[in-house]
Homo-oligomer: A and B are copies of this chain.
Amino acid sequence: MKPLTADEIVVMFLALGTLLAVARLFGEAAKWLRQPAVIGELLAGIVLGPTVLGTLAPDIMAHVFPADGRSHLVLEGLTTLAVVLFLLVAGMEVDLSTVWRQGRAAATVGMSGIALPFAAGFVGAYAFPAFLGSESDSNRVVFALFFATAMSIAALPVIAKTLMDLDLYRTDMGMIVIAAAIFEDLTGWMIFAVVLGMMGGGEDHGPGAATTILVTLVFAAAMLTVGRWTIDRSLPWIQAHTSWPGGVLGFSLALAFFAAAFTEWIGIHAIFGAFLVGVAIGDSSHLREQTRATINQFVSFIFAPLFFATIGLKVNFLTNFDPLLTLAVLLIACVVKIVGGFLGARFSGISRRESWSIGFAMNARGAMEIILGLLALQFGIIGERLFVSLVIMALVTSIMSGPIMQVILNRPKTRRFSSYLNSRLFIDPLKAVRRQDAITELAQAASEAAALEPAVIADAVWARERVLSTGLGNGLAIPHARIRGLRAPLVVAGIAPGGIDFNAPDGALARIILLILTPYEDSAAQLDVLAAVARTFARADLCEKAVKAGSYTEFLALVKQAEGP
């Protein structure tokens, strides 16, 4: 076989560039809409694939993303690598000690959350395989087992993100949900590995089904005990004696690749090995935060978008869309999972309201369901119709769990300080040199946005200011007031390069002045905004840098950086 030709290399990089650019763009759009990035990344693939581009301009699509040939093969190899790395990272997010700490409640919720969906899914799929999209030639038991797993699996990253958005991650309820999701993830993937093992006999190289299942279970048990222990003991040595972070990075990835090769070889899929290695490595207290971040960032922002976008290239989501099947899958999935989680939580003595909330939290399926479906599609367990239904189910459950929990718990999302900023509410430089003039100038800008009299705002703020000055020190001042008739919180940022005296305790003049207005009726809103400011400006050097920003865009960039990812 001759080496890659120039044409093939052109196609490879054109495809990679297009997939990455469009997937990242759609991923950002999803985030703007407060949705998980994976939704945008999948849509990018659907737009670039047969569903949209292939219908509108089949020639272009066939050229950039050839469905066959050597460029296609290389791209397939790359996405296989991408999904293996994604599972390594997903595994690293699993914190086994959380499961232990939550103990009985987590086990109850987790078991109930997996037992009910699994049982219902298995019985339903075994009884009505044709209705639930089974292909005529697939094994009835294998199909039912797959469908049961698909109903049971949880999406740890999406669930964790939803809990963080609602500021519930560090609560007891949050930890129970996370622990139960980890339990379900591990169990669900092991069951699916067994399902794939049952089909292992089909490959001429692999051992028989029983052997595959046995080896899988032994490997998983070894990885989570001896493997975990050995890695935990090795990491300090590697970090002490090799270049940093190259030693740990190389070690982690090489280990993941070997485990991937092994699990693929025993007849299940490469991703299982990578996932187990991820769990074992991520569990070590010796893994430094920065190493974790480097792997996480590169995989989440480069490999994951590439992988999820290529899914859209494989299937036509329009011609394979079966509304009845999709509705059935969606309904079954939601009912069994929510009820399962709810019953487990009630059984653990959790209040009715929180129990419903736990049920909805665990209902999110996200990326994991999609990877599961893709494997089943590749192994011929399911057809494209059911695959499309599963993808839609995964997206819908991920999108809806956050808002519904919000309604049930009556809990607003924590907003970041940057989300209050606006280029029209940014004054650089302020004309004022005295405190009261600065407040008047900022109030003038606010009055236009709020459709209120400037004097009303300025008076309220000045009244508050006279009670206690709002100079915080470090060059920051936050004059604020609760305003009657204001609909939503509003922040005006002013830069005073020369400094204005706001009576700060450290004696420094204020050079960043943030006017913070909140609705009079909503006393919690003021605390939220003030807390967001405090979090963001915790680092002393931010003020100094922000004064020199020079433009709203750079100011916003600095604030976002301070807020972190």
Contact = CB atoms under 8 A, between A and B. Distances in A.
Given A1-B73, A12-B77, A69-B1, A298 B249 contact: yes
B565 A244 contact: yes
Contact of A80 (B9, B27, B257, B564): B9
A68 interface: yes
A305 interface: yes
A539 interface: no
Interface stretch (A220-228, A348-356, A487-495, A554-562): A554-562
A564 B205 CA distance: 47
Nearest to A298: B298
Contacts of A532: none
B77 A4 contact: yes
Given A243-B565, A258-B14, A298-B298, A205 B76 contact: no
Nearest to A551: B236
A232 to B, nearest CB: 12
Contacts of A70: 1, 73
A432 interface: no
Contacts of A258: 13-14, 17, 21
Nearest to A273: B13
Given A6-B205, A254-B24, A240 B13 contact: no
Q: How many copies are assembled? A: 2
Contacts of A413: none
Interface in A310-345: none
Nearest to A12: B77
B254 A21 contact: yes
Given A4-B76, A72-B1, A300-B246, A257 B565 contact: no
A253 B302 contact: yes
A78 B79 CA distance: 11
A554 B240 CA distance: 7
A7 interface: yes
Interface in A243-300: 243-247, 249-251, 253-258, 260-261, 264-265, 267, 270, 286, 288, 293-295, 297-298, 300
Given A13-B264, A257-B20, A6 B250 contact: no
Interface string A137-180: 00000000000000000000000000000000000000000000
A68 B256 CA distance: 25
Contact of A236 (B270, B554, B565): B554
A109 interface: no
Contacts of A288: 561
Given A9-B270, A73-B74, A80-B9, A250 B302 contact: yes
Given A3-B378, A258-B17, A261-B13, A557 B77 contact: no
Interface in A52-76: 68-70, 72-76
Contacts of A237: 553
A28 to B, nearest CB: 5
A422 B486 CA distance: 71
Given A246-B297, A270-B9, A553-B237, A4 B254 contact: no
Given A68-B1, A80-B9, A20 B557 contact: no
Interface in A1-34: 1, 3-7, 9-14, 16-17, 20-21, 23-24, 27-28, 31
A301 interface: yes
Contacts of A294: 293-294, 297-298
12 contacts: A1-B72, A9-B270, A12-B81, A13-B261, A13-B270, A17-B254, A24-B246, A31-B243, A37-B243, A244-B560, A249-B301, A250-B302
**Top-8 shortest CB links A-B:** A74-B77, A17-B257, A24-B250, A246-B301, A13-B261, A21-B254, A240-B556, A240-B557
Given A3-B76, A21-B250, 4 more contacts: A24-B242, A74-B74, A239-B560, A298-B298
Interface of A: 1, 3-7, 9-14, 16-17, 20-21, 23-24, 27-28, 31, 37, 68-70, 72-78, 80-81, 84, 203, 205-206, 236-237, 239-247, 249-251, 253-258, 260-261, 264-265, 267, 270, 286, 288, 293-295, 297-298, 300-302, 305, 378, 551, 553-554, 556-557, 560-561, 564-565
